Structure 1
Amino acid sequence: MNTLIKLEITRTLRNKKFMFFSVLYPAALYLLIAGGASTTEIVEGTHLTLPLLMMVSMASFGAITAVLVGNSEKIAKEREKGWVRQLRLTALPGRGYVAAKVASAAVVSLPSILVVFAVAAAVKGVRLDAWQWCALTGAIWAGSIVFAALGVAIGYLATGDAVRPLTMIIYFGLSVLGGLWMPTATFPQWLRNIAEWVPTHAYAALGQAIERGDAPQLKDVTLLVAYLVLFAGGAAWLYRKDTREA
């Protein structure tokens, strides 16, 4: 299993296109959205400035890019090419294959988080206590596991041709509806009511609470755990189904 994990990490790091979109693209979006924003004006309903709010949003967006897009497309294509079938003939357990995918995605998601933080600090003068930086990094990195599980599920659900459009619809839909690209305070009330139950909204809310110096709300933590169970359970069921059909 360790050998496969090393192989997956090496393959991921060599994919320059994927590395760009996972690591540099979120930081570029941060500059586009918050680059000219005021560092003192508070966004309504958040108690945070736009540079602070978007720092968490774009760091979360980058982590989701790495674990969701990367996992879904790789797994679907490897199933189509017969690589997964070949691995089943070895002593590698199914959980080892999934662990390798999550580990390789985590290697990319951490730099994407740190690059956004560095850009926010250097360009917009964002300053937080040391514990807040550490807590933010840990919360966003750990929370990305929810979307890693979703990526695995999509990879076993879709074919190689269908996986990209399906992933993009889910990826951008969750990002927009969860408030990663714009504050949900700008949404009409009916849309805000829906957004509060989207996993990306709860994911970003963890970091926003830490920025304010507060503890994350129990509702957000519970919601993320529930989605993790749902996505992981779906991925496990789809994996077993794929195994039976192989």
Structure 2
Amino acid sequence: MSVTSVSIGAIYARECQAEFRKAWRMPEFSLPTILLPLGFYSLFALALGQAGGRGPQLPLLATFGVYAALGPAIFGFGVGMANERQQGLLELKRVSPMPAQAIVAAKLIMCMVFAFAVVVALHGLATLAGGVRLPFLTQLGLAAIQTVSVVPFACIGLLLGLALRDQAAMAAANVAFFLLAVLGGLWMPMAAFPGWLQHFALLLPSYHAGELALHAVGLGDRYPASLHAIVALGETALFAAAALWAWRRQLASV
């Protein structure tokens, strides 16, 4: 292994370490990211549901796992990137020898690790308190879908963080967060919404990620899982292209 490759690997590792330290030192980010999905699941699936997995425990495990990926992605990228721009940290990093892509990669890894940790806790809560029993491979596939769903949300967050200043990014992140969570069907079944809102949900990546999670446990809607996967990948590519354009524009201005 060359010295250059070791040096680049060390740079990525240091940047990831810095992102994790920053996240843990910001309880206003880490605590809601961890506690809200678990708290909402305890309320809606356990306190208001039936025991033994016959109520909403299983479908809400699927959708709340996607919801667990939404928070760190939208706020970690959206608000975090906007704050770094506002404080001049992004410009400082750009004049250092660190590769530009390490900044985004470290944030993405941090968000995925946070999401995976919450997903594991959520699965444990559903199993121990909700009586949900899933085959190991099914549970593994569900957790993978829920964790990977960070990616499209991170692209949206990155776009917000690069396009807006810190206060505006916070407001926009809150709007995007609740829009994607509620209208994407992550908190309640889409059947509870009027018809026009159900059609609007088809435009949201959170809806398709949630449906992929539901299909993984045999509870998906009338559309095949492959269709949801194609739409989710297409929307991810669209948001990624927009975020890449904003990123290159930001780098050019440094």
Question: Scaled by the length of structure 1, what TM-score is found?
Answer: 0.91
Pick one of 43, 46, 50 that aligns with 1:38. 50
Q: Does residue 202 in structure 1 map to residue 214 in structure 2?
A: no
Q: 1:94-147 CA distances to partner (integer Å, 9 max, x unpaired)?
A: 211110111111121111111111111122111111111100111111121111
Alpha-carbon distance in 1 for matches of 2:253, 2:216: 46
Matching residue of 2:97: 91
Residues 199-218 of structure 1 deviation map (CA, whole Å, 9 limit, x = unaligned): 11100111111111889611
Percent identity between the aligned chains? 24
- The separation in 1 between residues aligned to 2:214 and 2:52, in whole angstroms, is 16
Offset, 1:171: 0.7
Tell me the residue number matched to 2:253.
245
Q: Where does structure 1 differ by over 6 angstroms across 4 or more consecutive aligned residues?
A: 213-216
Structure 2 matches for 1:137-216, cutoff 5 A?
A: 137-212=143-218
SS in 1 for 2:188: coil
- Residues 106-121 of structure 1: matches in 2 within 5 Å? 106-121=112-127
User: Structure 2 counterpart of 1:119, which letter?
Assistant: L
Residue aligned with 2:187, SS: coil
Q: Which range moved further: 11-20 or 153-162? A: 11-20
Give how far 1:242 is off: 1.5
Contact 1:67–1:148 (Cα < 8 Å) also in 2: yes
Q: Find 1:25's aligned residue among 36, 61, 72.
A: 36
Displacement of 1:39 in angstroms is 4.9
Segments of structure 2 that go 5 or more residues without pairing to the other structure are 1-11
Contact 1:175 1:181 in 2 (8 A): yes
- 1:62-141 mapped onto 2 (5 Å cutoff): 62-141=68-147
From 220, 237, 244, the equivalent of 2:228 is 220
1:12 corresponding residue in structure 2: 23
Q: Take 1:245 and 1:90, find their aligned partners in 2: how far apart are those partners?
A: 16
Is 1:229 equivalent to 2:237 in the alignment? yes
The answer for unaligned runs of 5 or more in structure 1 is 43-48
Q: Partner of 1:45 in structure 2?
A: none
Matches of 1:92 and 1:217 in 2, distance apart?
40
Q: Sort the Cα spacing of 1:237 and 1:119 in 2 relative to 1 into closer, same or farther, 3 A.
A: same
How many corresponding residue pairs? 240
